[in-house]
Each structure stands twice: as C-alpha cells, then as structure tokens.
Amino acid sequence: MKPARVTATSASDGERDPRRWTALVVLCCASFMVILDSQIVIVGMPAMQSALALDPSAAQWILTANLLTFGGLLLLGGRSADLLGRRRIFMAGLIGFLVTSVISGFAWNAEVIITARAVHGVSSALMVPSALSILMRTFEEGAERNKAIAAWSAVGGIGATTAMLVGGWLTSNFGWESVFLVNVPVVLVLLLVSPMVLRESRDHGRRRTFDLAGALTSTAALVALVYAISEAPVVGWLSVQTTGLLALVVVLGVVFVGIEARSSAPLVPLRTLRMRTVATGNLLMVFVAMMVFSLSFLSSLYGQQVLGYSAIEYGLLGSIMPVMAIVGAYIGQAVVTRRGFRPAAVPGVVMLGVACAMLIMINVRGNYVGDLLFPFVIFGLGLGIAHTTASIVALTGVTESESGLASGLVHAAFQVGGGFGIAIVSTVAVSFSTGPDQPSELTNGFQAGFVACVVFAVVALACAVALPGRRTAVSVPDDEVRPAPVAGP
C-alpha cells in the first residue's frame, strides 16, 4: 500500500523550513489566547453578573456552556483537521473565536452571552487540536518536536497566570466587556499572519467522509461526562442525575466502540487507541490534569478565604508556579530526548505528589512563605516535566494522517481529568468542612482535598512507571499500524 499523500511537505522537510519557529510562535499565541480567555472570564464574572442582572444559575452556565462544547467536540475538531485541512480548520476556529468574543463583549442579556460562549467553545474545539496537529506536522518527531511541545506546554501556565493578573485590572478600568474584547486584536493579527507561516496539510489517503454515527456518540458521551462531573459536587455523586449520566456515558462508550470497529472511515481508529504510547500518555495526562486543576483550585481558595489575599495578590504570589513550570517543561523535553519517557515522567510525578503532601500541612494561621511558596516551586517543576512528557508520549508514533485526532485526544484527556479532579476534591473538601464557613473549618476541608491529590499522584506514578522507556523511531506508511515503542522491562 502507498503511504498517505499530503499537500504540504513532510515534517522532516519542515525541520529545514526557516519559518518553523515563527509558526510555533503563532500556534503558541493561539493556545495562550484560549487559556487566557477561559480563566479571565472567571475573574470578570462578578462584574458581569451584576451588570447583566444574572442569577447564580445563569452565571454558572456562562462557564458550563463553554466547557461542554469545548470538551465535547475536541475529537471531532481534531479529526476535521485531518480530513479537511489543518490550517483551514485552525483559521475557521480563529474566525469563530473572533466573532463570539465580539458578541460576548456586547452581550445585553443572559441568553446572548450563554449562546455566544457555547459557540465559542466550538471554535476552541476546532482551533486547539488543529494547532497542535500543525505543530506535529511542522516539527519532525524527536528533539525539535520535543522542544516545540515544551513551549506549547509552558504557554498554559503563562496564560492562566496572566488572566489572574490582568483580569481584575481590565474589569476595574474598562468594564467586564474588556475581558472578551481583549481577544480581538490578537485574533486579527493571527488571522493575518497564519496564511504566511503555516502550511496547509490534510490526509489524502482517506475519503473526506465523516463518521457521523461515531461523531454523534463520542460527542454525546463527552458532553454527558463533562456535565456529570461538573454538577456532581452540587447534586451529589449518588444522585439520579449523576448516576444516570454516568450510565449513559458507559452505554454510549460501548456503542461508540462497536461503531468504530465496523466503520470503513472511523472517527477514532481503534488501532490508534491500542498503541502503547497513545494509551499510557493520555492516561497519565488525565491524572496530571486532576492534580493540576485540584491543587490550583484548593490553593486559590485557601489563599483567599483563609489567608486573606485578594485575587490579584494571590495571582501575583502564585505566579512562581507557572514560572517554574516553564523551567520544568524544558527539563522534561531534554530528559525525554536524552533518556526516554519513563526517566522523565517518574521524577515529575513524584514532585507533584511531594508538593501535594506538603500542602496537607497548611494551617489556619499559615502564610504564603511558610505554607505555599516551597510546594508551589516543587509543583511547578513537576508540572512542567510531567505535562510535557505526557504530551510527547501521547503524540509519539502517531501517523501523520491522524495527528489531528491524537491532538484532540490529548486535550480531551486534560479537560476530562481536570473536571474529575475538581469534582472529587470539591466533594471531599465539603465533606470534611463539617462546621460553618470559618477559616478553621475551611482549612480542614482543604487539607482533606490535598490528601485526595496525593492519591491522584500515587495512581499517576503507576501510569508513569507503565510508560515505555526509550522508543525506537519506526517509519511506516500512514495506512499501516505503527509498532509500539521499544521499551524496557
């Protein structure tokens, strides 16, 4: 069989392309913008709720609507990039991002802004996996791609911290509308530059036919899963709603596997999921995300509700964590390049677990230097190493024709893992805060939440140990199964 043909040059040619690092900047800017947007909306929510006279339920749906469409459509967005053109889908996502940001900034009631945020999630689901897929096509598997993925991973922490630092300032000085409109000039620049530096590519080896049944079942399953875990702390894990939705997820998952096994053009080829790198890399990503979201959530509440810092003060003090994550990301890619997956992932996960264990010791009379600073430094380093390693592993050995799908899987794993983490630690924290919302009772709950984070770390460590050691690159046609990496015992 002949290898799949693409419209762009291969990744190895991309290594010699002088525009590849400029392309990386464009892709990282897009990722930065998505993360900044998701976090800055949270900062501007109180002002938004007051100005639009939103009740708490409507305000929550501004976040939930975006989360559901983004998390639910990631696989479909990634596969669309493979079939229709990665740059084309990326730019379609940018245009949608621009339009929905403008509409959100000028929204006059709850219905408009909730709808705009839901469509905004669709745009993000198109843009994010296609951007990472372009990165994979631009950089050949190996040292340069590892560095590019490290940069991509580091951008996440920078975006989240920037949102906390500038969100309050923008809202105070320019109104809640500015948290949406700040995206507009950035998107316009990206739309102008992208055609100049990003090469188009898509999978010509398969028919441009969508697996509609697979797309519907996978999207419905992801939406049901995200909604179930986001609402579980409120309605209860054993409620009819939560158990019913989780049962629906299981049924849809079984149906999806059956559809994919029989489809001539599956949305998610099952052979891809059977690859050791894809399976272990994404599983590790789930538990890394559970720790990242959970620790960020708990430490933010502790810093503001117990230690008394404002959101801006906490954002500034907490910025040490993403700074260290940048350092960790480049350490991680260097270790992966020189020694392999497992030697990078295991120390990274251990550092995450140690930081979570240290935070169990927080107390009501604590302070930033004595209780948070050192754990933040350790956690940041571990986060950079573990997240970068999980990303590299999950994308290693994937055929170029399925790079968009693999990128969608990585982001779906991160979103689902983060949702699970927050849902679990929220439930644990509330269960152990048995009294009124006094600092001492809140602290008891946060301590219990960090214990749960340590449990996540133990499971993540098992995933890290299961990773391949070193991999031997194998060049195969796109329509053949690429062998799993050669691993140590």
**Distance (Å, rounded) from C-alpha 456 to C-alpha 48?**
35
User: What per-residue confidence (pLDDT) applies to 251?
Assistant: 94
Domain count, the chain: 3
Higher pLDDT, 224 or 350: 350
DSSP conformation class of 103? H
Query: Quick one: 166 and 314 in the same domain?
Result: no
Average pLDDT of the residues in 293-317: 84
Query: Quick one: 297 and 160 in the same domain?
Result: no
User: What per-residue confidence (pLDDT) applies to 57?
Assistant: 66
Query: Quick one: 156 and 229 in the same domain?
Result: no
Structure confidence at residue 51 as a pLDDT band (50, 70, 90):
confident
User: What per-residue confidence (pLDDT) applies to 411?
Assistant: 85
Q: Which amino acid is at 200?
A: E
**Distance (Å, rounded) from C-alpha 13 to C-alpha 10?**
5
Higher pLDDT, 208 or 429: 429
User: What per-residue confidence (pLDDT) applies to 13?
Assistant: 43
Asked if residue 412 is part of any domain, the answer here is yes
pLDDT in tens, 121-150: 999 999 998 998 898 888 887 888 888 888
Asked if residue 387 is part of any domain, the answer here is yes
Average pLDDT of the residues in 412-424: 85
| Two structure tokens written together for 276 | 């050791």
**Cα 219 to chain centroid, rounded:** 17
Q: Give the CATH number for residue 85.
A: 1.20.1250.20
Question: What are the two backbone dihedrals, phi and then psi, of residue 472, each rounded to the nearest 5 degrees?
Answer: -105, 120
| Two structure tokens written together for 325 | 């994550």
DSSP conformation class of 405? H
Last residue of a domain, one of 151, 168, 199: 199
Angle at Cα 4 formed by Cα 481 and Cα 88, nearest 5°?
115
Asked if residue 364 is part of any domain, the answer here is yes
Question: For all residues of the chain together, what is the average pLDDT?
Answer: 83
Average pLDDT of the residues in 441-445: 89
Asked if residue 230 is part of any domain, the answer here is yes
**Distance (Å, rounded) from C-alpha 471 to C-alpha 488?**
9
Query: Quick one: 239 and 354 in the same domain?
Result: no
Asked if residue 486 is part of any domain, the answer here is no
Average pLDDT of the residues in 50-79: 80
Asked if residue 76 is part of any domain, the answer here is yes
**Cα 453 to chain centroid, rounded:** 18
Kindly write down the DSSP assignment for every residue of 320-377, as one continuous string.
Answer: HHHHHHHHHHHHHHHHHHHH-HHHHHHHHHHHHHHHHHHHTT--TT--IIIIIIHHHH
Using only the alpha carbons of the chain, give its radius of gyration.
22
Asked if residue 481 is part of any domain, the answer here is no
Asked if residue 479 is part of any domain, the answer here is no
**Distance (Å, rounded) from C-alpha 296 to C-alpha 315?**
11
Query: Quick one: 51 and 182 in the same domain?
Result: yes
Query: Quick one: 106 and 155 in the same domain?
Result: yes
Query: Quick one: 439 and 294 in the same domain?
Result: yes
The yes-or-no verdict on residue 106 having pLDDT over 70 is yes
Range of weakest confidence among 198-212, 269-283, 404-418: 198-212
Higher pLDDT, 97 or 213: 97
The yes-or-no verdict on residue 270 having pLDDT over 70 is yes
% of the chain with per-residue pLDDT over 90: 30
**Distance (Å, rounded) from C-alpha 328 to C-alpha 231?**
33
Average pLDDT of the residues in 161-182: 82
The 3-state DSSP class for residue 23 equals helix
Question: Would the pTM count as exceeding 0.75?
Answer: yes
Structure confidence at residue 479 as a pLDDT band (50, 70, 90):
very low
Q: Are 378 and 358 in contact (CB under 8 A)?
A: yes
pLDDT in tens, 229-267: 878 877 888 899 999 999 999 999 899 888 888 877 777
pLDDT in tens, 355-408: 999 999 998 888 888 889 999 999 999 999 999 999 999 888 887 777 778 888
Show the domain range for 51.
11-199
